[in-house]
Structure 1
Amino acid sequence: MSTEQTPTPAGGFPYILTRTLDAPAARVWQAWTTPDQYARWSHAAPGSVELDVRPGGPWKATMITPDGAEFPLTGTYLQVTENRHLTIGMDVPGRPDPATMTVELTEEGPRNTVIVLSQTCDTAEERDMAEQGSGMLLDGLEGFLADGSRG
């Protein structure tokens, strides 16, 4: 195995995760954009989530990994279309431009929403880590919506 850095392909290293959630798009949006709800499902440290959900609005959260390590995340919302679309800029130390993740919501019937998370990373390793983290986010969101869908 070589330790040389492989040049990033022109398209980078993308991933796309898709899930169908048992909730209307407005409920999924609320879970993703309301600080107290986001903190409950996203593996964030209590009290660390601040979300100013508008183009140019800042966000921050301190995430807790499965092994208990904490790491702060910050960024800015780049595009916001209520109940449908978020483009989220994420600050990366040592990188001049933010990494971006896109969240798309498509309602399919009154109680089903398809959520698509996508991101293009600079390296395969970064993509693998981001994809794993995004999968954990979707797992948490799915569980939160299932628990909160009653009453």
Structure 2
Amino acid sequence: MITIKTTVNASIEKVWEFWNKPEHITKWAFASPEWHSPRAENDLREGGKFSTTMAAKDGSMSFDFVGEYTLVKENQAINYTMGDGRKVEISFKETPKGVEITENFDPESENPEDMQRGGWQAILDNFKAYAEAN
């Protein structure tokens, strides 16, 4: 598994809402300024599914990031299985400096792990910036 982390200077309630509500997901779920997320759907419950469209702003490419929740503990943890069968575990922990978010995910086999770690970390950093600014 690959692990990434950040600490968001916000309340656990705000972090949970911004992480899970589609109107917020579309504001942060992309890795670089050339990309955006024009659409997000989220059925946040065990057995529920989610789908987020990530697209290049120039229209050259897009894909849907999809999965199904296997664990949802409000303000604490989310686990899901991606469309290709890989597993993701996310924990949310309140600390004196804010909410520590830790993501563990199975790597895919097409790209180097450092590249995958960098892409996922960039998205997590976008989330941190968005949650702290709004």
With normalisation by structure 1, the TM-score equals: 0.75
For structure 2, list consecutive stretches of 5 or more residues without a partner in the other structure.
31-35
Of residues 76, 100, 107 in structure 1, which corresponds to 2:87? Answer: 100
Once superposed, what is the RMSD of the aligned Cα atoms?
2.1
**Structure 2 counterpart of 1:21:** 8
Query: Which structure would you say has the larger Rg?
Result: 1
3-state secondary structure, aligned to 2:46: coil
Question: How many angstroms does 1:130 deviate by?
Answer: 3.1
| Matches of 2:87 and 2:99, distance apart in 1 | 22
Alignment of 1:113-128 (within 5 A): 113-121=99-107, 123=109, 125=111, 127-128=113-114
Q: Counterpart amino acid of 1:53?
A: L
Contact 2:47 2:68 in 1 (8 A): yes
Aligned pair count? Answer: 128
The percentage of counterpart residues that share the same residue type is 23
Instruction: Describe the shift of the 1:127–1:66 C-alpha distance in structure 2 as closer, same or farther (beyond 3 A).
Output: farther
Instruction: Indicate if the aligned counterparts of 2:77 and 2:90 stay in contact, CA closer than 8 A.
Output: yes
What is the distance in 2 between the residues matched to 1:130 and 1:55?
A: 26
CA shift, 1:37, in A, is: 0.5
Q: Which protein has the bigger strand share? A: 2
Residue correspondence of structure 1 range 69-108 to structure 2 within 5 A:
69-92=61-84, 98-108=85-95
| Per-residue deviation, 1:27 | 1.1
Change (3 A) 1:116 1:85: same
1:26-84 Cα distance to aligned partner (Å, 9 max, x none): 211111110111111113532x2000000000110111258752111221111100011
Kept after mapping to 2: 8 A contact 1:120/1:127: no
State the TM-score, normalizing by the size of structure 2.
0.84
Alignment match, 1:45: 37
* Residue aligned with 1:64, SS: strand
Are the structure 2 counterparts of residues 61 and 124 from structure 1 closer, same or farther at C-alpha, using a change threshold of 3 Å?
Answer: closer
Aligned to 1:130: 116
> Given the superposition, is the C-alpha separation of residues 41 and 89 from structure 1 closer, same or farther in structure 2, using an over 3 Å criterion?
same
Structure 1 residues without counterparts, runs of 5 or longer: 1-13, 93-97
